A = this chain, B = another copy of it.
Amino acid sequence: MNRQLLQKQPKVTVSDSFWLKYRQLVKEEMIPFQWDVLNDRGNITIESERDDATIPTEKSHVIENFKIAAGLKEGHHYGWLFQDSDLYKWIEAAANTLALEQDEALVAQVEETIDLLEAAQAEDGYLSTYYQIDAPQLKFRRLFESHELYCIGHLIEAAIAFKEATGSERLLQIADKAIACIEAHFGKAEGKIDGSDGHQEIELALVRLYELTGNRKYLDLSVYFLDVRGENPDFFADQLEENDRLGLKQGPKPVINAVYHQADKPVVEQDTARGHAVRLVYMALAMAGAGHYQKNEKLVAAAKKIWDNIVQKRMYVTGGIGSTVRGEAFTYDYDLPNDLMYCETCAAIGLLNFSNELLKSETDSRYADIMERTLYNGIISGMALDGKHFFYVNPLEVDPQASALNPDKSHVKATRPSWFGCACCPPNLARTLPAVGRYAFTQKTDEVLLNLFIDSELAGEQDGKLYTIRQSHTFSETGRTVITVEKASSERLRLGIRIPYWASDPLLIVDGEETVADTCNGYTYVTVVSESAKIELSYTIAINELEAHPLVKADKGKVALQRGPFVYCMEEQDNGKQLHLLALTGTIRPRFRSDQLLGDIVCLEAEGELQVMEDEWQYKLYRVRQKPKAIPKKLTFIPYYSCGNRSLGEMQVWVDKEDTHV
């Protein structure tokens, strides 16, 4: 395959004030904070993200684990089996930050961890601190839970990011050595392990590494891990039996739920989103990417089927996925309870990347719609506006009483804690937020797509000649996006501009001339012939009352408000307690607000009503029904991502809709 066709991450410089704020928080708050956590420095309270006493919350111990593995210290491993990946994600976050801004001190910190990784990695390339320190006899032998390949996947992603940011290949060499070790142990050949990791990740990382290097072996290994998954649904259980047969000392042998691992049947036969949500989207992303490069239509078609199932039947309006805490998993079509959901930040990030991956191979704004929905809602909601507190679970409804007193809802934190025992989400945010520009554009061989309205500049290359596409937008009463293209080549440049579903009456002016914004698959095309062009797109930003599919029981009779890409919610701080007694009845207007805590935001104010609670209810639980009485009440909505940043209180995305005033 021609290297030309490999779609490396687009080089985009973001200048958008909304996103720069996040980039600054990552650089100034998250990266130093997480560094302290990884090194067990400072006074950090680690919270359990679930009410599970087995979650390690005493310390992080990540760097310490590597030091022990490297023989620099004595001691035992502490934390999750996947604790190593916290460091890899931190490196990726640091690298993505370094790609935007030089910082010698940060480079030095990363180099320091690379020294440590070099020291910790075994001769043969093996690297997993838990197994190196405490259970060498079980290397690659408890894959259902070991996360050994999962961690190497994150190491690969970190190595790629560090190479792209600094040009240094040091980390790539460690990754490559680890991959060689994996290749030596896994495969169809006699005596090798013919199976995959319990948590998908290496598959997608290998696709990324193939994109960077063009080295086919990485793609082949990715496809091997995809293909072998579910070939033998008992693979994970068989490993445990074999350990017993060999007399290896091992931990408990739980009943393995192959559906949880998406390993009960071959991946191409999986046409619904089942099991652990993060695993599913990471796997499907790899299917889309590997299938695309391998021209494996079956793999791509299967990935698309899964994507369709998610976005048509199993996704919250915030882009969150995972309807239950038990197994952090999908459940079944249209089962989207607002008070029980999981909606893990990592899963939304996975869905963003999965959608982006499909967009690379198929131009359709549906993918960009979902990228936008996840990014502006269920992903950034994962972080407090101070950059120091995080949601693991991104709720659609918060009732502090329920979180405190109903154990079914104890995983729904009413406010964001600062760190979690299972610390996958905060570093996942840290690596994603500085790289947000990548999603704004998609470069294809024959076209460039502008997906998201993020003020930024794409530095592209066509037939060896450079071009730049700059976009900036204003997004107040109405919306306006200005795009300028400059190119060195005389070749035509075909630019597809996504017309979002929430942009009504779009008006396109190309070099001063009004043009009909015809769309194809959700993109309107401008072919730039001359050396530069200026394109203006103006539109009305719709405020939509969304309703959910009638089979979503939890949302019957309710609406969720959306303005532009932002989903909205009501909070107790603006609307008082007992949000469920409120209903939307009339018109909705945007109001531009400068809030000390929430920053410059566009609120929505709506005519509504409040159900009256008569005195007789004080001593009654049930009564013969009377026609409900309500009084008018102004409702205030804030963007969903900004919820939970003030005092403890109720929150609701879906709100009752009444067609008639009472």
* Selected contact of A546 from candidates B255, B340, B406, B624, CB within 8 Å: B624
What range describes how many residues of A lie at the interface? 35 or more
Binds B, one of A124-132, A374-382, A478-486, A553-561: A553-561
Q: Which residues of B contact A407 (CB under 8 A)?
A: 324, 326-327, 329, 331
Counting chain B CB atoms within 10 Å of each CB, the highest count among A53, A548, A657 belongs to A548
Q: Which of A309-323 contact B (CB under 8 A)?
A: 311-313, 315, 317, 323
Asked if B405 and A332 make an inter-chain contact with CB atoms under 8 angstroms apart, the answer reads yes
Q: Which of A296-354 contact B (CB under 8 A)?
A: 308, 311-313, 315, 317, 323-327, 329, 331-332, 335, 337, 339-340
Interface 1/0s, chain A 535-577, versus B by CB < 8 A?
A: 0000000001111111111001101100000000000000000
Q: Which residues of B contact A337 (CB under 8 A)?
A: 339, 408
Is A613 part of the contact surface with B, judged by Cβ < 8 Å?
A: yes
Asked if B255 and A324 make an inter-chain contact with CB atoms under 8 angstroms apart, the answer reads no
Chain B nearest CB, measured from A588 CB (Å): 12
Asked if B324 and A619 make an inter-chain contact with CB atoms under 8 angstroms apart, the answer reads no
Chain B nearest CB, measured from A553 CB (Å): 5
Q: Which residues of B contact A545 (CB under 8 A)?
A: 624-625
Chain B residue at minimum C-beta to C-beta distance from A410: B326
Asked if B550 and A312 make an inter-chain contact with CB atoms under 8 angstroms apart, the answer reads no
Q: Which of A444-471 contact B (CB under 8 A)?
A: none
- Bound state CA distance, A457 and B340, in angstroms? 50
Chain B nearest CB, measured from A203 CB (Å): 26
Is A620 part of the contact surface with B, judged by Cβ < 8 Å?
A: yes
Chain B residue at minimum C-beta to C-beta distance from A397: B553
Chain B residue at minimum C-beta to C-beta distance from A313: B621
- Bound state CA distance, A651 and B439, in angstroms? 45
Counting chain B CB atoms within 10 Å of each CB, the highest count among A315, A406, A613, A659 belongs to A406
Interface 1/0s, chain A 221-252, versus B by CB < 8 A?
A: 00000000000000000000000000000000
- Bound state CA distance, A402 and B332, in angstroms? 8
- Beyond A550-B581, A622-B548, whether A408 also contacts B312 by CB under 8 A is no
Chain B residue at minimum C-beta to C-beta distance from A333: B401
Q: Which residues of B contact A550 (CB under 8 A)?
A: 578, 581, 611, 613, 617
Is A295 part of the contact surface with B, judged by Cβ < 8 Å?
A: no
Q: Which residues of B contact A581 (CB under 8 A)?
A: 550, 556
Is A626 part of the contact surface with B, judged by Cβ < 8 Å?
A: yes
- Bound state CA distance, A151 and B84, in angstroms? 50
Q: Which residues of B contact A549 (CB under 8 A)?
A: 617, 620-622
- Bound state CA distance, A627 and B547, in angstroms? 10
Asked if A402 and B335 make an inter-chain contact with CB atoms under 8 angstroms apart, the answer reads yes
Q: Which residues of B contact A621 (CB under 8 A)?
A: 311-313, 315, 548-549, 552
Q: Which residues of B contact A402 (CB under 8 A)?
A: 331-332, 335
* Selected contact of A408 from candidates B255, B324, B544, B619, CB within 8 Å: B324
Asked if A547 and B625 make an inter-chain contact with CB atoms under 8 angstroms apart, the answer reads yes
Asked if B53 and A255 make an inter-chain contact with CB atoms under 8 angstroms apart, the answer reads yes
Chain B nearest CB, measured from A154 CB (Å): 28
Counting chain B CB atoms within 10 Å of each CB, the highest count among A255, A313, A332 belongs to A332
Asked if B625 and A657 make an inter-chain contact with CB atoms under 8 angstroms apart, the answer reads yes
Q: Which of A591-628 contact B (CB under 8 A)?
A: 611, 613, 617, 619-628
Chain B residue at minimum C-beta to C-beta distance from A613: B550
Q: Which residues of B contact A325 (CB under 8 A)?
A: 408
Q: Which residues of B contact A312 (CB under 8 A)?
A: 619-621
Chain B residue at minimum C-beta to C-beta distance from A612: B550
* Selected contact of A401 from candidates B308, B335, B560, B627, CB within 8 Å: B335
* Selected contact of A332 from candidates B401, B551, B552, CB within 8 Å: B401
Q: Which residues of B contact A335 (CB under 8 A)?
A: 401-402, 405-406
Q: Which of A94-146 contact B (CB under 8 A)?
A: none
Chain B nearest CB, measured from A50 CB (Å): 12
Q: Which residues of B contact A552 (CB under 8 A)?
A: 621
Q: Which residues of B contact A313 (CB under 8 A)?
A: 621
Q: 11 more A-B contacts (CB under 8 A) besides A324-B406, A331-B407, A546-B622?
A: A308-B619, A312-B621, A332-B405, A408-B408, A545-B624, A545-B625, A547-B625, A551-B617, A556-B581, A557-B557, A627-B659
Closest 5 pairs (CB-CB, A-B)? A326-B407, A547-B625, A332-B405, A331-B406, A545-B625
Give 12 pairs: A residue, B residue, CB < 8 Å, sorted on A: A312-B620, A315-B621, A326-B408, A331-B402, A331-B406, A332-B401, A332-B405, A548-B621, A549-B621, A549-B622, A552-B621, A625-B657
